Chains A and B, each alone.
Chain A
């Protein structure tokens, strides 16, 4: 079983829809949670990150972490065609241990927002 599971989709939604992207994980040591966005033929770029549990909002994007359920989500409000990309969740533990400094990525979800 992979440490981080993410539904690869693909997910296709109309412009203006609310999009929900999710990841589950099994390693309770993970403390930092990230969402990366990858456009076609480009490298991933960091979209948002959160530490431990809670919500974080940035414009149309909201990241949620529920450590008790080992579940993280990214919500996109008023989705736009320019949001069409692959979204990868990533996470890492706190300082110390052999996993320090390394990110564990989910498989990525392919999102298409059509006009």
Chain B
């Protein structure tokens, strides 16, 4: 089984809808991250969490919210989706000692119509 899983893998939604992307990990890491990837822009950090009680905004947090339900679970929500949130979303984890090594999930491809 994969160490970092994301659901759903693909999602089509309409403008204004609320959607949630979920991430689970079995690596036992404290640190979890949400990124979006757009062509020509690379990976941009949306939110990150260093433990269950610690949530921090990344460089592009507007329009997004997160919930760290447990050490192993980190969810990303789009409260009212808009077309420019169409992107590939990745969850990642790392431990304190090896922050350079982030383990990524397979990604969620989101299309907002």
Contact surface of A with B, Cβ cutoff 8 Å: 4, 6, 8, 32, 34, 41-46, 49, 88, 90, 92, 101-103, 105-108
Question: What is the count of residue pairs linking A and B with beta-carbon distances less than 8 angstroms?
Answer: 55
Q: Is the CB of A107 within 8 A of B40?
A: yes
Alpha-carbon distance A19/B100, docked complex (angstroms): 23
Query: Which residues of chain B are near A44, meaning CB under 8 Å?
Result: 43, 90, 102, 104
Query: Which residues of chain A are near B90, meaning CB under 8 Å?
Result: 43-44
Q: Is the CB of B50 within 8 A of A101?
A: yes
Contact surface of B with A, Cβ cutoff 8 Å: 4, 31, 35, 40-45, 48, 50, 58, 90, 92, 94, 99-107
Q: Can you list 22 contacts pairing A with B, beta carbon distance less than 8 Å?
A: A4-B42, A6-B42, A8-B40, A41-B106, A42-B107, A43-B90, A43-B104, A44-B90, A44-B104, A45-B104, A46-B101, A88-B43, A92-B99, A92-B100, A101-B48, A102-B45, A103-B102, A105-B35, A105-B42, A107-B41, A107-B42, A108-B42
Minimum CB–CB distance from B96 to chain A (whole Å) comes to 8
Q: Is the CB of B40 within 8 A of A34?
A: no
Nearest B residue to A46, CB-CB: B101
Contact of B100 among A32, A41, A106, A108 (CB under 8 A): A32
Query: Which residues of chain A are near B31, meaning CB under 8 Å?
Result: 101
| Centre residue among B40, B43, B44, B99 by max chain A CB count within 10 A | B43
Nearest A residue to B104, CB-CB: A43
